[in-house]
Chain A
Amino acid sequence: MDFAFTDDQAAITQAAREMLVETCTPTDLRRMLEAGEPSDQARWSTINEMGLLGILAPEAAGGLGLAAPDFVGIAEAAGYVALPEPLVDLAGVTIPLLASLDDDHGWTERAIGGAVVAIGHPANRFVADADTADALLLGDGEDLHIVSRNAVTLTRAESFDPLRRLFQVDWAPSDETRVGSGWGDAADRGALFAAAQMIGLAQRSIDMAVAYAKERTQFGKAIGGYQAVKHLIASAQVKVEFARPVVQAAAAELALGTLPSRARIAHAKIVAGEAADLAARTSVQVHGAMGMTWEVDLHFFLKRAMALNYAWGTPAAHRRTVIDRMTSLPTGPDKTFASELADA
């Protein structure tokens, strides 16, 4: 038992985080929105050059062959910067799924090389990033199909989060587009890495609240000096502290693929969503009227947090998984870890 990241894990997370924080500032996000650019090509190239896209793909498929705990901190960092590009869905969900197909029509390799494959998983009402995708991975019953961007018709479903591009997709399956059957653990991965992003989003909201509370003065004093303000922010941080380890454990247990491991992911998604929601609302409150504006950057994080809270399974759906595990399998101090119930 060692619930800590290895030096290698810490190092790759740190490198990815530094790159994201440096290249994806709120100023960058605003520039993209003003220019109507859906993604930043330079940043996407850097992400690609760092090998982040193939991080969870097997070495045989050209990936790094690493596992979910190696990526969970990177997904958190992507949340921290409200990354507009689909790094998390691609590296965390789509590429591992493509790599598991018998015949992926060459798309694993292409996606590891930076081609975007948008994923139309049934857990989500719309397909994110379909407009900039080279291809779409879509489901028809149990069958999976890869369809080229040119072969589908897209209708934008505008989200509160202007950097989240959702589409309704009209398409027709055919024998040529079929690449396999079954979504495997894609829903678990989607939920897990959405949870990780929400931890990052929560921390970002808190960091912004702290910075503002130190700088803004009222009644001749920094507002962060008032206990009412301190306690608001501190309560949000408590939520984060008791959500992050759940997310990390969920990453470590993902591979088990059992009810206890799926319940851990569900737990992670629920509490990370609660932390992100509370942190965002707290940060608005600490910013006063400033927090309600377009001018202050906070809304980028608040909007993403709200969207992810309901994406890849709603809290209500995840709660059912938790209750299922809780009522059908043994609980207790010796049953903390999913591996203790591996035979279940």
Chain B
Amino acid sequence: MNLDYTPEQRAFRAEVRTWMEANVPSGPLPSFDLTREGFEAHRDWERKLNEGRWGMVTWPEAYGGRGLDLIRWLIFEEEYYRAGAPVRVNQNGIFLLGPTMMEFGTDDQKARFLPRMAAGDDVWAQAWSEPGAGSDLAGVRATATRDGDEYVLNGQKIWSTRAVFADWAFGLFREPGSERHKGMSLVLFPLDAPGVTRRPIARMDGEMVFAEIFLDNVRVPVADRLGEEGQGWHVCMATAGFERGLMLRSPARYQVAASKLIALYEANKDSTPASVIERVAQGWMDADAYALTIYAMASRLAGGGTIGPEASTNKIFWSELDIELHRTALDILGDRAELMPAAPDRGDAGDWLDGHIFALAGPIYAGSNEIQRNIIAERMLGLPRG
């Protein structure tokens, strides 16, 4: 074990830092969940990242990446969050679909989709959940009916993040008549294809963070299926592993939040009981613990290992950490916590409220924490199935 960055890794960090300092927008971009303009502003940022070849540093150069290892990806993420760069509007593409495509895609699919994904030219949404199929994803009812070299897609998807303005979706469909884990396929479809209707869903604060997608005889080429026909469940579980495991929530995100919390505490010391420093310290320790665990995981993967059910432990840890960081911040803010951004007298309330609302969803998406606990108990610890 050696916990020193190599000179090359340090040089890489310096390179990222220099680029970020020169390029990260000085103020926050308008929300990508409220207007097309805000969405496009984020797409422009993705394009700029791609011009610097920072779109997805772990991908092969042929697909717009730099072919770097996971340690460098972590360093990149650290610098990205440290610089306060915009949230990746294409996270469902680059962090979920991208790695899945690397594993299951044909060469043709990789060449068609990955460079455009890295560039933000195609922003992707995940279309798996349905009104009747949330935790029980094998309950999906939407169908892909084979018609020569086309699929005809029908059904209803829900909770599809960013789908209000996104360009493409990767959806989970089943062969008519098939049941549960059998007969499913992962099919890619353009969100502006004939027969696709999107209905935005407002979050509790009015932001249109997700959408329902209605599919009415939507025709797509069979070539846009990812993985084998009928193997959709298997493909999805790989994606879910990326979602819970390493990619979706990188540790730097929480380390930056913990640093902001420390600053908030310091700035409000006079009105905050001294004991709150203990919660702040806990948040900081937990953020570091998450970072250490992910570094260890990245090293294990680099040595040829795989991620198993411990992806579920990650997911529980970051989602609960996020809530605690935000609850502590709200407690420090006290009667300023409830104020919306335009309110007077907000002082340094920042975006803690918005972050808190977002954090509340953490234990629900990417597989609820109850389901993750079942997975840990049964698959990691070998307890009897309930």
Residues of B with C-beta under 8 A to A168: 344-345
In contact, B360 and A160 (Cβ under 8 angstroms): no
Q: Chain A interface: which of B2-10, B42-50, B106-114, B363-371?
A: B363-371
- Whether A289 contacts B129 by the Cβ 8 Å rule is yes
A315 to B276, CA, bound (A): 12
Q: In this complex, what residue of A is CB-closest to B276?
A: A316
Where the two chains meet, the residues of A that have a C-beta atom closer than 8 Å to any C-beta of B are 124-126, 155-161, 164, 166, 168, 218-220, 223, 226-229, 232, 277, 281, 284-285, 288-289, 291-295, 298-299, 302-303, 306-307, 310-311, 314-316, 319-320
Of A155, A159, A160, A223, chain B has the most CB atoms within 10 Å of the CB of A160
CB of B340 closer than 8 Å to a CB of A: yes
- A285–B345 touching, CB < 8 Å: no
Residue of B129, B206, B342, B368 contacting most chain A CB atoms (<10 Å):
B368
Q: Within 8 Å CB of B361, what residues of A?
A: 289, 292
- Report whether A292 and B364 are in contact in the complex, using a CB–CB cutoff of 8 Å: yes
By beta carbon, the residue of chain A nearest B209 is A292
- Chain A residues near B342 (CB, 8 Å)? 158
Q: In the complex, what residue of chain A is closest to B210 when comparing beta carbons?
A: A289
CB distance from A183 to the nearest CB of B (A): 17
Given contacts A289-B158, A289-B361, 6 further A-B contacts (CB under 8 A): A159-B340, A284-B364, A292-B204, A293-B202, A298-B204, A314-B334
- On chain A, the residues within 8 Å of B386 by CB distance are 226-227
Given A228-B370, A316-B331, are A302 and B339 also a contact pair (CB < 8 Å)? Answer: no
Report which residue of B206, B342, B344 has the largest number of chain A beta carbons within 10 angstroms of its beta carbon: B344
Given contacts A160-B205, A293-B204, contact A125 B353 (CB under 8 A): no
Judge whether A310 and B204 touch: CB under 8 Å: no
CB pair A228–B135 under 8 Å, yes or no, is: no
Cα distance A144–B368 in the bound complex, in angstroms? 52
Q: Bound state CA distance, A293 and B363, in angstroms?
A: 15
Q: Given the interface contacts A218-B134, A292-B203, A292-B204, does A125 sit within 8 Å of B159 by beta carbon?
A: no
Among residues 240 to 293 in chain B, which have CB atoms less than 8 Å away from a CB atom of chain A?
A: 271-273, 276
Would A316 and B374 count as touching, CB distance under 8 A?
no
B336 part of interface (Cβ distance < 8 Å) = yes
Interface size class of B (residues with CB under 8 A): 35 or more
CB pair B204–A299 under 8 Å, yes or no, is: yes
Q: Which residues of chain A have C-beta atoms less than 8 A from B357's C-beta?
A: 292
Q: Mark B338-352, 1 if CB is under 8 A from A, else 0.
A: 111011110000000
Neighbouring B residues of A218 by C-beta, 8 Å: 134-136, 139
Report how far A220 CA is from B139 CA in the complex, Å: 9
- B residues adjacent to A (C-beta < 8 A): 129, 134-136, 139, 158-159, 201-206, 210, 271-273, 276, 323, 327, 330-331, 333-340, 342-345, 353, 357, 360-361, 363-365, 368-370, 373-374, 386
Contact of B135 among A161, A288, A320 (CB under 8 A): A288
Bound CA span A233–B272, Å: 31
Q: Shortest Cβ distance from B357 into chain A, in angstroms?
A: 8
B368 partner residues in chain A, CB cutoff 8 A: 285, 288
Check A157/B345 contact, CB under 8 A, given A289-B364, A306-B338, A316-B334. Answer: yes
Give A307's nearest chain B residue, CB to CB. Answer: B338
Contacts of A166 in B (CB 8 A): 343
B148 to chain A, nearest CB (A): 35
Q: What are the residues of chain A within 8 A of B334 when measuring CB–CB?
A: 310, 314, 316
User: A228–B327 Cα gap in the complex (Å)?
Assistant: 23
- In whole angstroms, how far apart are the Cα atoms of A311 and B272 in the complex? 15
A294 touches B336 (CB 8 A): no
Bound state CA distance, A342 and B203, in angstroms? 50
Least CB distance from A168 to B in Å reads: 5
B338 with A302: CB separation less than 8 A? no
Whether the Cβ atoms of B134 and A289 lie closer than 8 Å is yes
In the assembled complex, the Cα of A227 lies from the Cα of B344 at a distance in Å of 45
Complex Cα distance A56/B343, Å? 34
The residue of chain A having its C-beta at the shortest distance from the C-beta of B373 within the complex is A228
Contact of A281 (CB < 8 Å), options: B205, B331, B360: B360
The answer to whether B204 and A161 touch across the interface, beta carbons within 8 angstroms, is no
In the bound complex, how far is the Cα of B373 from the Cα of A306, in angstroms?
28
Residues in B with CB closer than 8 Å to A124 are 335
Q: Smallest CB-CB separation from A168: which chain B residue?
A: B344
Give the shortest distance, in Å, between A250 (CB) and chain B (any CB). Answer: 21
B343 A159 Cβ-Cβ under 8 A: yes
Using known A-B contacts A124-B335, A218-B136, A310-B337, determine if residue A228 contacts B374 with beta carbons closer than 8 Å: yes
Q: Which residues of B contact A292 (CB under 8 A)?
A: 203-204, 357, 360-361, 364
A294, B338: Cβ atoms closer than 8 Å: no
Verify A285–B363 contact, CB threshold 8 A: yes
Contacts A281-B360, A320-B273; A157 near B335 (Cβ below 8 A): no
In the complex, what distance in Å separates the CA atom of A160 from the CA atom of B353?
A: 8
Contact status B340-A160, CB under 8 Å: yes
Q: A159-B343, A218-B139, A285-B364 are in contact. Are A306 and B337 (CB under 8 A)?
A: yes
* Bound-state Cα–Cα, A281 to B373, Å: 18
Sample of 29 A–B contacts (CB below 8 Å): A125-B335, A126-B345, A157-B339, A158-B339, A158-B340, A158-B343, A160-B205, A160-B340, A226-B370, A227-B386, A228-B370, A232-B370, A288-B135, A288-B368, A291-B364, A292-B364, A293-B204, A294-B203, A294-B204, A299-B204, A303-B204, A306-B330, A310-B330, A310-B333, A310-B334, A310-B335, A310-B337, A314-B335, A316-B271
User: For residue A155, which residues in chain B have a CB less than 8 angstroms away from its CB?
Assistant: 344
A35 to chain B, nearest CB (A): 17
CA distance A303 to B339 in the complex (A): 11
Residue from the list A226, A285, A289, A302 in contact with B159, Cβ < 8 A: A289
Nearest B residue to A316 by beta-carbon distance? B273
Instruction: Evaluate whether A311 and B335 lie within 8 angstroms (CB atoms) in the complex, with A228-B374, A289-B159, A316-B272 already known.
Output: yes
With A218-B135, A227-B386 in contact, do A125 and B364 touch (Cβ < 8 Å)? Answer: no
A324 to chain B, nearest CB (A): 13
Which B residues lie within 8 Å of A164 (CB)?
338
> Which B-chain residue is minimally distant from A314 (CB atoms)?
B334
- B306 to chain A: closest CB distance in Å? 27
A160: chain B residues at CB < 8 Å are 205, 338-340, 353
Complex: chain B residue closest to A277, CB-CB:
B327
